Chains A and B, each alone.
Chain A
Amino acid sequence: MKILVTIKRVEDYESKIKVKPDGTWIVTDGVNYRANPFDEIAVEEALRLRDANMPSEVIAVSVGSELSVNEIRSALAMGADKGILVKQAGWVDSDAVARCLQKVIEREKPDLVLMGKQAVDVDDNVTGQLLAEYLGWGQATFASKHESLESAEEKAKKPGVKLAADKASVEVIREIDGGLETLSVKLPAIVTVDLRLNVPRYASLPNIMKAKKKPVEELDPKALGVDVTPKVKVLKVEPPPARAAGIKVPDVAALVQKLHSDAKVI
């Protein structure tokens, strides 16, 4: 089975994010970067599927500046077999990313594409869906599973996305409002993953050493025939409103009154 997994370089959620005074973007000085946490879950799932269905291969793909090779290396250090970087500096919108990935996928012909459901930088939650449309493939978004993250299945690193016996489809449990939905998706397909699918492994030190020797291919969007001119323009970036100071209420009656009249929650 050939599995392609996407990995994006994003601002570290532990960094303090500040908006530029002119409101065009965020201040990037002093901000740390890391792999999108949803993508790490996708990498973990890809590795589990590979190991449960040998012989298989996992390819980690990123679209971004040359620095994104760091995030590809982190996927290789977790255990992915090889990497592909579609090198494009600056702001690339989700649609351009989907069209770059389409070209890579047409060339690599994977059986399954695993992606984070969204990237924690701009929270678009569209790349997987756009990609499925461009390829004309089936999709299952927000993959999750029945078992908890403390379960024995999770500890044994069992895949939550299950390959059918005839290897022609995968079964995906989706998180939907108020419950879970089970889908069977014909391969090849796009599956985007949610938070409760797995706990990504820590890259082990020997695997980090081995990752150095794994190949990372660089591709140019132009050579792939993709025009990456953004269709989406960022007009303005604003910080969330500062949290108003709390108030103290004298008794329960006053609290209920406030919840009713001010907060309007009861």
Chain B
Amino acid sequence: MAQHLLDLFAIESLWTEEQRLVRDSVRRFARERYAPVLQKAWDDERFPDELVPEIAQLGVLGAQLHGYGCAGMDAAGYGLTMRELEYVDSGLRSFASVQGALCMYPIHAFGSEEQRERFLPRMARGELIGCFGLTEPDSGSDPGSMRTRAKKVDGGYVLDGAKMWITNAPVAGIAVVWAKTGEDASSIRGFLVERGFAGFSTPRMHGKHSLRASWTGEIALEGCFVPDANVLPGVQGLKGPLSCLTQARFGIAWGVLGAALSCFDTAVAYSQERKQFGKPIAGFQLTQQKLVEMASGIINGHLLVNHLSGLKDRGTLTPTQVSLAKRDCVRTAIETARSARTVLGANGIMADYPVMRHAQNLESVLTYEGTHEVHTLALGRAITGVDAFS
């Protein structure tokens, strides 16, 4: 009998008993509670917010952080959580990434004790949803060129500018907004902008063909006053947003392996059942080659993220290492999704199977959190010592 790919390579033996419990619990939640409402959410182009209390109850939000009501999980346990969420849909994993890695992490790492206590427990309980505002209409891969400005005034700052492509923005109660306090990138500071602050609004963006089960919006800042108490004291310059992205990218590398596995599992099962020319299409060499390419990518990806998890737990993980993992795992996932789509023939384009949805979602994942090209340049620079960015 054919064994499951992960068993064939004893991938399961990499996890501790506790990590397996984490995986199973998140898996059950994602497949039993989230999957049934997903298609409707996708059709309606919305994230099913009604499930946030259950997601929070499970302890997923900020699971990698210690204290303040967070689970304090090790890196692989956190990674498996992301994988199981994204097995169902990248939108669900994106929600968790933005909340935990892009919003809770900077407050945890760079916030004052007062800020941590004020925001983190509510964010872990899902009562306060966060969004992360870095990208702007004219500033994407080059965030140092951002135009959003924070002008110092008595008791705080006044923010003016616009952020775009911001996940969770339409429903967020708090936005971690990055803005320049001076002319150059070294003057960038992080601001905790709360819903209700005058001059803060978050129009929703419509018409996505990807990541439809996820909120995306803009952040408009028009003379928005942010008190000093809501400025992150612990960081200045691009290091602030970039270190958040390193956290999130680590989770993305793990997460997309879930999307890849979902496509792979679907393609294997389909190929064993679908018969043409008198035998299952799994019996054709060309089909087997496709499945083997997917399998290699998925196994390599697991070994890579598991290695990085060990480094993360030891505190030595570098942004370059995460760049490679994000780039490589997303490439594996999107190639797996596209190839699985062909194995399913015409059925591959239908909503009855998850493959086309994953393929569409992964187009966003390929671009956000540093495009595939930008990670290539980051790695190229690390390897050659020559900067090819500009």
Contacts and interface: CB of A to CB of B under 8 A. Distances in A.
A205 B1 contact: no
B152 to A, nearest CB: 40
Interface centre among B24, B26, B58, B60 (most CB of A within 10 A): B24
29 contacts: A16-B1, A29-B3, A30-B7, A73-B18, A74-B21, A74-B24, A77-B25, A202-B25, A202-B26, A202-B28, A202-B58, A203-B25, A204-B58, A204-B59, A205-B26, A205-B59, A205-B60, A205-B63, A205-B73, A205-B77, A206-B71, A206-B72, A207-B59, A208-B18, A208-B21, A208-B22, A209-B71, A209-B72, A212-B18
A18 B1 contact: yes
A70 interface: yes
Contacts of B21: 73-74, 77, 203, 208, 211
Contacts of B353: none
B25 A30 contact: no
Contacts of B1: 16, 18, 27, 30
Contacts of A74: 21, 24
Given A70-B17, A211-B18, A205 B25 contact: yes
Q: A-B pairs with the 4 shortest C-beta distances?
A: A205-B59, A205-B71, A204-B59, A206-B71
A2 interface: no
Contacts of B71: 204-206, 208-209
B3 A202 contact: no
Interface string B29-61: 100000000000000000000000000011110
A52 B181 CA distance: 55
A50 interface: no
Interface residues of B, number: 25
Contacts of B4: 30
A169 B70 CA distance: 39
Nearest to B56: A204
A205 B22 CA distance: 6
Contacts of A212: 18
Given A202-B29, A205-B58, A208-B71, 10 more contacts: A18-B1, A27-B1, A30-B4, A73-B17, A77-B21, A202-B26, A204-B58, A205-B26, A206-B59, A212-B18
B81 to A, nearest CB: 7
A66 to B, nearest CB: 12
Contacts of A69: 17
B284 to A, nearest CB: 23
Interface of A: 16, 18, 27, 29-30, 34, 69-70, 73-74, 77, 202-209, 211-212
A202 B81 CA distance: 13
Contacts of A208: 18, 21-22, 25, 71
A115 to B, nearest CB: 22
B24 A204 contact: no
Interface in B45-103: 57-60, 63, 70-73, 77, 81
Contacts of A34: 24
Contacts of A16: 1
A204 B4 CA distance: 27
A222 to B, nearest CB: 26
A211 B60 CA distance: 17
Contacts of A203: 21, 25
A205 B57 CA distance: 9
Interface in B1-27: 1, 3-4, 7, 17-18, 20-22, 24-26
**Chain A CB within 10 A, most for which of B4, B7, B59:** B59
A29 B2 CA distance: 11
B75 to A, nearest CB: 13
A206 B68 CA distance: 12
Interface in B213-261: none
Nearest to B77: A205
A209 B24 contact: no
A144 B29 CA distance: 23
A53 to B, nearest CB: 22
A206 B24 CA distance: 14
A205 to B, nearest CB: 3
